[in-house]
Structure 1
Amino acid sequence: MNFILKRTFVLLIVLSFAVSSFAQFRLSGKIINYTGKEELNINIPVISGFYKENSIHIPITKKGAFSIDIPIKGQKFANLIFQKKFYTLLLNPNKNLVLSLNESDQTLKILYGTALAENTVMQTVDLEQYPFFMDSDGSNKLAKLPLKELQKQVVLPYFTQRDEKIKKVQSATLAVKDKQAIIAELKYISYNYLNDFIRTQALDRTIMDSLIFEIFDNVDPKPETFPAGPQYYGFVRNYLSYLETKAFKQIKKENIKPNEPIPYFGISLDSANHIVKNYGKPYWRWIGSNKNFPTNVVEQYNYHQLIGLFIDKDLRQFEGLANAYKAKFPNGIYINDINTKLSSLQKMLLQNETNTQIKIVDGYEKMNSIYELIKTLKGKVVYLDVWGTWCGPCKEELTYLPSLKAKFKDKEVVFVYLDMDENDMDSSWRQFIKVNNLTGIHLRKNRQAIAPFWAELLANTADKAEYYPQYFIFDKEGKLVVAKAKRPSQKEELYTQLNNVLNKNQ
C-alpha cells in the first residue's frame, strides 16, 4: 500500500471513530402559541438522576421554532423540559425527531422523523407517569391500610398497569434494542415508585418490611440491558436499601455479633459503622454494590454516586469513594474526570481556607439560644437556615444561594446557618462550608444540643415538625417574624418575604 493510500485509509478510520464516538441526534419542531417567556431545555443524564448541570438550553425563535443537534454516545433517555413539565424521549445516535409543543395546554405531539416509532411508543405508555398511589390525598389514605389491602389496592393493580404497558411495547413495530430498553425502564421505574411510596409513608414497620421484601425478593439485580437506562440505577440504590433492611432483620433474628460479617455486605457491623462515620453512606453502597452487582454496574453506579457528591461539593465523601473507585478501576473510562473533579474540590477548599466572609461564631458550643446570636445582629434582617451536612434536600437548596445573595447584595440581610451534626463531624462540617463557599455566619449543634433551639424557633407555630432544612426570618429588632419561611429554591416567593420584612423596618 503506497503512502497516499495509507494516509487515506487511516483518515477514514479516524473519521469513522469520530462519528461513532460523537454521533448526534437532531431535535426540532415548533412551540404553538409561544409567548416568548418560557425556556426550552433537554436534560440528558450521564448515568442517572436529574442534575441541572446536564441540561442543554435549546434556543427558540420569536415564532417558536427550534432545532438543535445533540451529541450523544449511544442510546439515551432524556427529559425535554418546558413550562416545568417533563417529556421523556428516547434518543438514538444519528436519528432525528420533529415535534410540536403547545404552550397553552402543555401538550406534546410527535410529528415525524427517524426516531418517530420509539418516541410514539414512549408517549403511548407514558414511561414516567406518576402513579395513583403517590397522589397526596390518595397516598395518605392508602398508607393506613393493612398489609393485605395494600397488596390488593396498590401492588397488584400497579403491576397489572405496568404489564399492560409492556404488552403495548412488545406488540409495537420497533427495533429490538428499543423495545428492550423501554420495557426495562418500565420495570425498574415500577420498583422505584413502589419503594418510594413504602419508605416515605408512615407505614407500620412490619408492613413496610413485608412489602419491600415482596417487591424485591424475586427480582434479578442484574440489568436486563446494558448500558442500562437511568431508572435502573435508581433501582440499584433501592435494591441496596432492600438488602440493608434484610440484613439487619437477619442480624437481629440470628443474633449476629458486631464483629461478625453482615449478610449481603460481607463486613462486620463495627466496620460498617466506622465506614459510614468516616466516609458516608455512599461508601457503604460501594461495598454493597461490589458484593451484589456485576462489575460493569459497579463502575457505572459508583461514578453516578461520585457525580452527585461532586455537585454537592462534599469533598470528604467524594475523596473516600474516589480513592476506592480508582483502586478498583485504575484504567476506567471515568478516571480522568474523577481526578479533575477531585482536584477542583480541593482547590475550592484551599481558596476559602482564609475567606473572612465565612464566619464561625466564637464560643458557639456554649450557646443555648439562637437569640444569643440574633441580638448581636440588630439592625439587620436575618435569614436563618437550619440544615445538616448529611441532609440531601439541604444541600440541594445550597445551590440556589448564589442567586439569593446576589439579589440582596446591597441590602441589610445577613445569612446565618445553624448546622445539626454530631461533635465528631466538626472538622467535616468546617471543611464542607469552605468547599461550598458558604459566606455567612455559622454555628453547629449536635442532635441533643439543638433541641432548645428548635423549641424556641417553633414556639408559636402550629406545625412543630423538626424537619431539615427549615428557614426563619428575623426582623431588624431581632424578632422572629416568619417561621418556616420559603426556601431559596422558591426564589420570588422568598424574595417577597424578605423584602416585606426589610420594608417593615424602614
Structure 2
Amino acid sequence: MKLFFRLLLLLLIIPAYSTGQIKKETIKIIGKITGKVPDIIEYTLPINGIDYFGFTDSVQPDTAGNFQISIPLDKTSFIDLSNKYKSFGTLIAEPGMSYKVYIDTETQENKFRVESQNQKGQLLYNQIPNRSMIVGGHFEIETKKYIKDSIPSEIKQKLEKSEETELEGFKKLLKDKTISKDFYNLVKTDRNYFYKGIQGSLGFINYLMTSSKQNTLTKLQYTELWASIFKTNPVTNPELLRSPWFYFYTENYLRYQDLIIKETSEATLVEIGKQGLTHTHNITNAKKYLSGQQLEYYIAAYIYYEAINKNYEKELITLFEQFKKNYPSSAYAHFLEPVIIPILAFHKKQEEPLNEKIKFIDNSANINSVKELIKGLRGKQFYVDIWATWCGPCKAEFKDNAKLYQLLKSKNITMVYISIDKENRENQWREMTHFYNLEGNHIRANEKLDADLRVLYNNQSMGIPWHFLTDENGTIIKKNLSGPSEIENLEKQLSKN
C-alpha cells in the first residue's frame, strides 16, 4: 500500500517538473583579440532565443585582448559579437557548450575563428556575407541582384537555387554529425526566411517604383510574388523569432497588409506623417496581426531601430511609455531606455534660446544655385556641408564640430550648411540645427538648388555628407574635402589651398 502511494506521489511530481520552465544551461565564450583591442566587445543577448543587433550586453577585454562571456541559454541561438554596430563574427551557440573565439581586428580574411566541436559549422556560417544587417546584408540590398528580372517564376528559381547552394555545406556537416540537428535547423530556418524576405522586398520595391513607371513587374505579378511568401513562411512561426531577420521580415509583412490588402494611399500616409503619427500608425498595424511574445519583441525592436536613426521624433517617447505600461516586466525596456534619453534631451534643448551664431538665410526659397547663395554672404572662402536630417553619417560628423569651427576661424573661412531635406521636414531641420548647435549659415535647398548641387556633384545620386570649398563667387575651389571627424586631414587639405 505504501508503495502505491509513493508511486502515486511520484506521478504527481513528474508533471510539475515537466510543465515548469525549461532549464537554462550556461554557455561560456573564452575570447582572444589580436591587433587593435577595442574598448568593449558587445554581444547580442538571446532573450528567449531571440537575436537582435540592438539588444546587447558588453564585456571589456584586458590589455592583452582576453575576455570571457557567460550566458544562460535554453535553446540554440545566434550570438553576434561586435563593436559599435561593426560585427566581428556570429556564434551559433548551443546550451551547455564552451567556445574559444579568436578575433583579428587587422585582417579581413579569417578575422573570426571559433574552436569548438562544431567549429566547421561556425566557419561555414561566418562565410555567409549577408548573415545579418550589421555585416552589410539587407533584403533591399540583396534585391538589387534581381530587380531587372521580369518573370516571377525565374525569380523564385534563382532565390531557391541560392538558398540550396548556401545550405549544401551544412547538410554535409549534419550528415557527418559535425553539427547537431538543432544547429542545422536554426541555420535552415534563418536562410529560408532571408531568401523569402528578398522575394517580399522585390514586391515592395516594384510597388514603390510603379508611380514613376520604373517597375519591372506588373501589379499582378509583384502582388502575387509578395503574397506567396507569407503562405509558406508566416510571421507567426515561433522559429522565426530566433532569426536576426524576424524584425525586417515582419516589417515587410506589415507593409504588405497596409499597402496591398488595406490599400492605404500615399496621400493618407503623407497626412499621417504631417500629424507626427507615422510610428503610431505602424505600431497600430502591428497590433492587428501580431500577439504575445512576437508583438512585444516587434514593438521593442521597432522603437529601438527608429530611435537610433536619430530623427528624434517626440512620438517615440510616447510609444516607449506605452510599451512600459503594456509590458511592465519586459526584458527589452532595459535596452530601449538608453536610446530614448537622447530624444528627451533633444526636445529639452528646444526650450533653450538659439545660439546667436546660427543664422538661417532669409529669402531662401528664391535661392536657386550655390553661386546665388554664396554671393549673398560675407566672406572670402566658404566651407560648405551638404547634409540632411535623415542622414546618419552626416549627424555623426557633428560631434567634432568644435575642432572644425576653430580650424575655419584660424583660416578665415565661413561655414555654410545646406540641407537637402524636403519641405515636410522643415521643422525637424530647424530643430536639429538647434540641437547640434551648428554655428554658421543655414539654408534648406529648394528643388532648383538641389538640382544645382547634383550637377556640381556630377551624379544625380548625390552622396552625403559632402563637403567642399568655394571662393567668394560660389565657384568650387576644392570639390571633395574631409569632414570634421578627419580634422587633421582637412587641415592639410585647406593648407594646400
- TM-score of the aligned structures, taking structure 2 as reference length: 0.71
1:221, CA displacement in angstroms? Answer: 0.8
Q: Quick one: which of 106, 109, 121 aligns to 2:109? A: 106
Counterpart of 1:96 in structure 2 is: 98
1:193, CA displacement in angstroms? Answer: 4.3
Counterpart of 1:11 in structure 2 is: none
Counterpart of 2:134 in structure 1 is: none
1:196, CA displacement in angstroms? Answer: 5.2
Counterpart of 2:6 in structure 1 is: none
Counterpart of 2:319 in structure 1 is: 321
Q: Quick one: which of 154, 157, 164 aligns to 1:160? A: 164
1:458, CA displacement in angstroms? Answer: 3.0
Q: Quick one: which of 263, 275, 279 aligns to 1:278? A: 275
Counterpart of 1:236 in structure 2 is: 250
Q: Quick one: which of 191, 194, 208 aligns to 1:186? A: 191
Unaligned runs of 5+ in 1: 1-19, 252-261, 263-267
Paired residue secondary structure (1:475)? strand
Per-residue CA distance 1:80-103 (angstroms, 9 max, x = gap)? 459x77422134576532244565
Q: Quick one: which of 204, 210, 216 aligns to 1:204? A: 216
1:438, CA displacement in angstroms? Answer: 4.7
Q: Is contact 1:386-1:468 (8 Å) kept?
A: no
Alignment of 1:250-329 (within 5 A): 251=263, 273-279=270-276, 281-313=278-310, 314-329=312-327
Counterpart of 1:14 in structure 2 is: none
1:300, CA displacement in angstroms? Answer: 1.2
Measured at CA, do residues 485 and 297 of structure 1 come closer, stay the same or move farther in structure 2, by a change above 3 Å? farther
Query: C-alpha distance in 2, partners of 1:53/1:478?
Result: 51
Query: C-alpha distance in 1, partners of 2:437/2:460?
Result: 31
Measured at CA, do residues 70 and 482 of structure 1 come closer, stay the same or move farther in structure 2, by a change above 3 Å? farther
Q: Is contact 2:174-2:181 (8 Å) kept?
A: no
Alignment of 1:369-380 (within 5 A): 369=368, 370-375=370-375, 376-380=377-381
Q: Is contact 2:393-2:465 (8 Å) kept?
A: no
Measured at CA, do residues 395 and 99 of structure 1 come closer, stay the same or move farther in structure 2, by a change above 3 Å? closer
* Residue identity matched to 1:297: Q
Q: Is contact 1:26-1:67 (8 Å) kept?
A: no
Query: C-alpha distance in 1, partners of 2:280/2:481?
Result: 33
Counterpart of 2:459 in structure 1 is: 463
1:155, CA displacement in angstroms? Answer: 2.2
* Residue identity matched to 2:89: Y
Matched, 1:479 2:479: no
Q: Is contact 2:358-2:442 (8 Å) kept?
A: yes
Counterpart of 2:347 in structure 1 is: 349
Counterpart of 1:418 in structure 2 is: 419
* Residue identity matched to 1:220: P
1:276, CA displacement in angstroms? Answer: 3.3
Paired residue secondary structure (2:245)? helix
1:145, CA displacement in angstroms? Answer: 3.3
* Residue identity matched to 1:25: K
Measured at CA, do residues 99 and 53 of structure 1 come closer, stay the same or move farther in structure 2, by a change above 3 Å? closer
* Residue identity matched to 1:502: L
Q: Is contact 1:377-1:478 (8 Å) kept?
A: no
Range that drifts further, 72-81 or 373-382: 72-81
Range that drifts further, 359-368 or 233-242: 359-368
Q: Is contact 2:149-2:216 (8 Å) kept?
A: no
Paired residue secondary structure (1:107)? coil
Measured at CA, do residues 180 and 289 of structure 1 come closer, stay the same or move farther in structure 2, by a change above 3 Å? farther
1:482, CA displacement in angstroms? Answer: 7.1
Alignment of 1:1-12 (within 5 A): none
Counterpart of 1:431 in structure 2 is: 431
* Residue identity matched to 2:165: Q
Alignment of 1:49-64 (within 5 A): 50=53, 58-59=61-62, 61=64
Q: Quick one: which of 223, 226, 239 aligns to 1:225? A: 239
1:208, CA displacement in angstroms? Answer: 4.5
Measured at CA, do residues 364 and 41 of structure 1 come closer, stay the same or move farther in structure 2, by a change above 3 Å? farther
* Residue identity matched to 1:112: E
Counterpart of 2:31 in structure 1 is: 28
Query: C-alpha distance in 1, partners of 2:397/2:24?
Result: 35
Per-residue CA distance 1:179-210 (angstroms, 9 max, x = gap)? 44333322232233455567669751425545
1:111, CA displacement in angstroms? Answer: 5.5
Query: C-alpha distance in 1, partners of 2:173/2:481?
Result: 43
Query: C-alpha distance in 2, partners of 1:137/1:242?
Result: 19
**CA RMSD, 1 decimal:** 4.5
Counterpart of 2:9 in structure 1 is: none
Q: Is contact 2:384-2:417 (8 Å) kept?
A: yes
* Residue identity matched to 2:476: V
Counterpart of 1:361 in structure 2 is: 360
Measured at CA, do residues 329 and 189 of structure 1 come closer, stay the same or move farther in structure 2, by a change above 3 Å? same
Measured at CA, do residues 303 and 127 of structure 1 come closer, stay the same or move farther in structure 2, by a change above 3 Å? farther
* Residue identity matched to 1:383: V
Paired residue secondary structure (1:408)? helix
Per-residue CA distance 1:83-131 (angstroms, 9 max, x = gap)? x774221345765322445656621575634xx42x5323224474349
Paired residue secondary structure (2:472)? coil
Query: C-alpha distance in 1, partners of 2:457/2:431?
Result: 34
* Residue identity matched to 1:161: T
1:356, CA displacement in angstroms? Answer: 0.8
Instruction: Report the count of equivalent residues.
Output: 442
Counterpart of 1:15 in structure 2 is: none
1:471, CA displacement in angstroms? Answer: 2.0
Range that drifts further, 275-284 or 169-178: 169-178
Q: Quick one: which of 149, 163, 169 aligns to 1:145? A: 149
Query: C-alpha distance in 2, partners of 1:112/1:480?
Result: 59
Unaligned runs of 5+ in 2: 1-22, 132-136, 207-213
Counterpart of 1:247 in structure 2 is: 261
